[in-house]
Structure 1
Amino acid sequence: MSQPSDYPLSAVPVDQRKGMWSMMSVLLGFTFFTSTMWAGGTIGSAFSFYELLGVIFIGNLLLGSYAAGLAYIACKTGLNTVLLGRYCFGLNGSKLSDFILGFTQIGWYAWGTATIAIIIVKLLELPETWLTPLMIFFGFGFCISASIGYKALELLSKISVPVMLFFIGLSFYKGIIDVGGIAEFVAINPTESMPIAAAITMVFGTFVSGGTQATNWSRFAKTGKIAVISTLAAFFVGNGLMVFVGAFGASIYQQADIVDVLVSQGFMLIAILMLFSNIWTTQDNTIYNFAAAGCNLLRTDKRRIVTFFGAALGTALAVMGMYNMLIPFLILLGTFIPPIGAIIMADFWVKYKGNMPSLDTVKLPKYNMTGLSAYVIGSGCAYFSPWVAPLVGIVVSVVAYTVLLRFTSETKLQAQGA
């Protein structure tokens, strides 16, 4: 009997919905990621302890609220972000969001694939000639659970998340002992400088692409409450924890990645287990996201084929050096991704008043110029903004879409009256 397709081009049926523990496990597994720690290490070197807590709180509150808003809509409609994009961008216009979201996920997949290969070579002191073969091995290996679907992601996360939390707790305990106590850790002074707006943008940007596409799982939630709480747990608490872990390690051991920290603390075996758990639970979710965007872009339900194609593309980028482009990539994500989710939320609440018609029955245009224009305006303002780019993109996109929607509606009414 063939495996379920996970509904890449349709709403998730009610009888396939999941509960809180299932949703929370998958989403936390997704947000427990090395790159977030790396960003935390960069931020941790630039702020005092209490300033750091403020940046983490604000950045992840914005990220969690944004992701939770989309999660609620996904649960109510049973649709993911790329399918919701058809309503506000049009049947063909939504391919723009498919391409942008798919590209960002491939970038993350490439980064994760390169990361695990580089760390293994470093830990085991292998020749550098092993890098490419290991990237190829992990690049295709990590996509196997994603090709199976939600059930495999859920099983892996339910095992890995508690294990990773235990390892993090152990590392915290050893770190506090090594630094001489909590008071000594709090008293550590910053060695670098960074504008607060840039730091918040980095925190938001680390997983805003993931938050935009977390609807691939939140649409499986049984209720809107489950969707919102599990998403907040992942993107406010979970992602915030990862940022703090990176800052903690950088402050005490000058290492942002908890794998390097665990090695420094003498926990080699635990470090290797943490590496696999951390990377795998995000990599399979990431390539699953790419497959969702790819299926909508190509209008195909062959999710497994798209998954393996994405893994091949991500692996190729890893081999070509994507690892060295993380910072500009994060800035790119924080600028051009949030307007997509913002317009989807405005479309749901302003245009449809929280009651979207079924994708099977609604008649949609090929190109929705209202949504596409709002995206261009929001992204442009975010790109040129000296302030927090993601927040600017969200606010401007919502305002632009609301104004343009009212203008086009009034124009249609006037035309009909004439």
Structure 2
Amino acid sequence: MQDGGSSKGRVDPDFPLTHVPATARQGLWSVSIILLGFTFFTPTMLAGARLATAFPFAELLQIIIFGSLLLAGYVGVLSVIGARTGLTTVLMSRYTLGHYGAKWADLLLGGTQVGWYGVTAGVMGSLVAVALGAESIVVTKMLVILAGVLMGITAYYGYKGMELLSAVSVPLLLIMAVWVTLRAVAEVGGWTGLLAMQPQNSMSLAAAITVIVGTFASGGTQAPNWTRFARTSGIAFWAAVIAFLFGNGAMLFFGAVGSTAYPDSQGDFVNILYEMGLIVWGVIFLVLNLWTTNDNAAYAFGVAGAEFFNVPNKKPFVVAGVAIGTLLAVAGIDQALIPWLVALGVLIPPLGGAIIGDYFFVWRQQLPSLDRVQFRAVRWDAVLAYLLGTEAAQWSSSAGILVPPLVGIVIAALAVPALRAVFLGLGRAQDHRIAEEPIPPEPA
């Protein structure tokens, strides 16, 4: 098994191009706190606020629970695979899509995380400008740039840097969110008043579930980037459930309640705190909330870049991604949140579905180590399975029936073994060569 280093530079302690060894594995607290920091995200509250205008509150609660269960189940399975293999999502995609096919996963996952980084940096810079009362375009853009640079720091220092930030910020964020939610409920006459609120807009059930899954379709697909550090698959699974069922679901719920009680806030607790006159606490909530998510995004595009260029060091790609994401933020990418979520809910989950189907039905949960595999350029059967899943999810989204992300995951997962059987029958299967002994690395 490779050690993650090379003559090209110092060993990266986050093992971006190899399996995480047993000596670096972590417990439930460590993995959970990082994933919770990832899912405690202000734009998720905005998504909850958007949903709150389209459904009666009792029905909205059911939708949030169902959508969060779907997301947590999907991420939980991928997280288990990550812990068992010790691999990032993009490295797992080598087994499924092939050496060059995995480059699509790098672009899709890394690229969308760069976009998320831009959304988050834009939101932070704009809201801090409001808090400071300095809402000129120049000042706002300068704050956006500052936010973009600062939030990349913990990702640059890797897993340990993100764990430290999340351990400090997550408990504080949770206390503040619960307090604001209780204040918001009181504003509308308690839970009875909240349940009596009627929707002002309309949205299909399929679109609502897609928005919920889309909040972390890309991020959740990359959860193995962190759950690969879990000591056991059980730790990985429960960390995913804690973060994506309870953490992400809570953010949607908090946003829905906040927008109902304070319509001008759009469900954003930062704006609510501003309305209460708690400007300092609003800024603290904003900075911690967004930073704990964006350092994960930066980490994700860092490891995707390392895989794409086959360089065992994520740091140069963290820096490059932060620069690109910050430029996108300055350009105003944060104005396209809901269409962005819907697109992610269609494009990303089928990739995770293909990896799941390949791991369970083709490899039968027995992936050989990276240093024993000579990867084919492209596994076309798995690529076609991903495309079928994407097309099915797009059809479901356009028709407004079923749940598009779930459709994409299931179709892609089932299509992998089905298309492999077809390719085997035609003599066109593109299997990787598995060696008995480790294959010497290619010269640098």
Q: Which category describes the TM-score, using the shorter chain as reference length?
A: over 0.9
1:108 corresponds to which residue? 116
The runs of 5 or more residues in structure 2 that have no matched partner are 1-8, 430-444
Residue 178 of structure 1: CA displacement?
2.0
| Residue 278 to residue 70, structure 1, CA distance change in 2 (3 Å) | same
2:5 corresponds to which residue? none
Counterparts of 1:47 and 1:19, CA distance in 2: 39
Residue 139 of structure 1: CA displacement?
0.9
Q: Is structure 2 residue 213 aligned with structure 1 residue 213?
A: no
Task: Kindly indicate whether the alpha-carbon contact (under 8 Å) linking 1:3 and 1:148 is maintained by their aligned counterparts in 2.
Answer: no
1:160 pairs with 169, 176, 190, which one? 169
Task: Kindly indicate whether the alpha-carbon contact (under 8 Å) linking 1:70 and 1:212 is maintained by their aligned counterparts in 2.
Answer: yes
Task: Kindly indicate whether the alpha-carbon contact (under 8 Å) linking 1:121 and 1:128 is maintained by their aligned counterparts in 2.
Answer: no
* Per-residue CA distance 1:227-266 (angstroms, 9 max, x = gap): 0000011011110001111111111101211111122233
| Residue 77 to residue 44, structure 1, CA distance change in 2 (3 Å) | same
Residue 363 of structure 1: CA displacement?
2.7
1:343 corresponds to which residue? 354
Residue 208 of structure 1: CA displacement?
0.8
Counterparts of 2:279 and 2:362, CA distance in 1: 55
Q: Is structure 2 residue 138 aligned with structure 1 residue 117?
A: no
| More RCO (CA 8 Å, sep 6+) | 1
Residue 302 of structure 1: CA displacement?
2.6
Q: Is structure 2 residue 55 aligned with structure 1 residue 55?
A: no
Residue 101 of structure 1: CA displacement?
0.5
Counterparts of 1:326 and 1:175, CA distance in 2: 24
2:383 corresponds to which residue? 372
* Per-residue CA distance 1:326-371 (angstroms, 9 max, x = gap): 1221111001100110010111100111111111102321111011
Q: Is structure 2 residue 413 aligned with structure 1 residue 407?
A: no
Counterparts of 2:302 and 2:207, CA distance in 1: 31
* Per-residue CA distance 1:144-201 (angstroms, 9 max, x = gap): 1100010010000001000000101110221222222221122111111111111011
Please tell me the residue identity of whatever aligns with 2:315. R
Number of matched pairs: 414
| Residue 212 to residue 355, structure 1, CA distance change in 2 (3 Å) | same
How much identity, in percent, do the aligned residues show?
40
SS of equivalent to 2:46: helix
Task: Kindly indicate whether the alpha-carbon contact (under 8 Å) linking 1:5 and 1:301 is maintained by their aligned counterparts in 2.
Answer: no
1:282 corresponds to which residue? 293
* Per-residue CA distance 1:65-120 (angstroms, 9 max, x = gap): 00000000000000011000000100111101110111110110000000011001
2:203 pairs with 194, 198, 201, which one? 194
Counterparts of 2:278 and 2:288, CA distance in 1: 15
The runs of 5 or more residues in structure 1 that have no matched partner are none
| Residue 413 to residue 281, structure 1, CA distance change in 2 (3 Å) | closer
Please tell me the residue identity of whatever aligns with 2:157. I
1:17 corresponds to which residue? 25
Please tell me the residue identity of whatever aligns with 2:393. A
Residue 413 of structure 1: CA displacement?
10
Counterparts of 1:356 and 1:14, CA distance in 2: 17
2:404 pairs with 371, 389, 407, which one? 389
- For 1:21-36, what aligned pairs fall within 5 Å after superposition? 21-36=29-44
* Per-residue CA distance 1:304-341 (angstroms, 9 max, x = gap): 11100000000111111111111221111001100110
Moved more, 150-159 or 354-363: 354-363
Please tell me the residue identity of whatever aligns with 1:118. S
2:366 corresponds to which residue? 355
Provide the TM-score with structure 2 as the length reference.
Answer: 0.91
- For 1:216-255, what aligned pairs fall within 5 Å after superposition? 216-254=225-263, 255=265
Counterparts of 1:77 and 1:112, CA distance in 2: 31
1:46 pairs with 49, 54, 60, which one? 54
Task: Kindly indicate whether the alpha-carbon contact (under 8 Å) linking 1:174 and 1:265 is maintained by their aligned counterparts in 2.
Answer: no
Counterparts of 2:428 and 2:71, CA distance in 1: 38
Counterparts of 1:315 and 1:382, CA distance in 2: 30
2:282 corresponds to which residue? 271
Structure 1 runs of 4+ aligned residues shifted over 6 Å read: none
1:6 corresponds to which residue? 14
Task: Kindly indicate whether the alpha-carbon contact (under 8 Å) linking 2:12 and 2:314 is maintained by their aligned counterparts in 1.
Answer: no
The Cα RMSD (Å) is 1.5
Moved more, 280-289 or 382-391: 382-391
Task: Kindly indicate whether the alpha-carbon contact (under 8 Å) linking 1:71 and 1:231 is maintained by their aligned counterparts in 2.
Answer: yes
Task: Kindly indicate whether the alpha-carbon contact (under 8 Å) linking 1:33 and 1:278 is maintained by their aligned counterparts in 2.
Answer: yes
Counterparts of 2:335 and 2:243, CA distance in 1: 27
SS of equivalent to 2:371: coil
Please tell me the residue identity of whatever aligns with 1:55. I
